Amino acid sequence: MKKKKDSKLTSWLTLEFHPSEETDEVVVKGAWDDWKGSTMRKKKNGTFYIRKKFPVGDWECGFECNQSLWQINPNFKTTSSPFGSLNNIISVSQ
């Protein structure tokens, strides 16, 4: 899936993710920043979240748990990755 964006437009978005097993660290990685990643904060209930500005468009992403396990949010749309796993698709609108 090719990324679609207008790099001048951004919007604040809060992403939440609850890992399927106990996790100390989650990094959200996505096409909006060439998969560099941003560390998420952990709530007391075990859910991780991040609030940041994202470029407007449709973006593939995933959640890297403890620097090794790739997971997706089952509540988001998915697509196949070139590595044989799944990625989420998030849509950021203005």
Whole-model pTM: value is 0.87
Q: What is the mean pLDDT of residues 18-45?
A: 95
The residue-averaged pLDDT of 30-49 equals 96
* % pLDDT > 70, the chain: 93
* Segments forming the whole domain that contains residue 76: 11-92
Q: Is residue 1 part of a domain?
A: no
Q: What angle do CA 49, 50, 52 make, to 5 degrees?
A: 160
Closest alpha carbon to 1 in 57, 86, 59, 55: 59
Ramachandran assignment for 57, one of left (phi > 0), alpha (psi -120 to 50 degrees), beta (any other)? left
| Rounded CA separation 83/75 (Å) | 21
Domain for residue 3, yes or no?
A: no
pLDDT given at position 94: 84
Name the band, by pLDDT with cuts 50, 70 and 90, for residue 2. very low
Residue 5, in any domain of the structure: no
CATH number for 18 = 2.60.40.10
- Identify the residue whose tokens are 């991040």: 50
Q: Dump pLDDT digits (tens) for 42-79.
A: 999 999 999 999 999 999 999 999 999 999 999 999 99
Domain count, the chain: 1
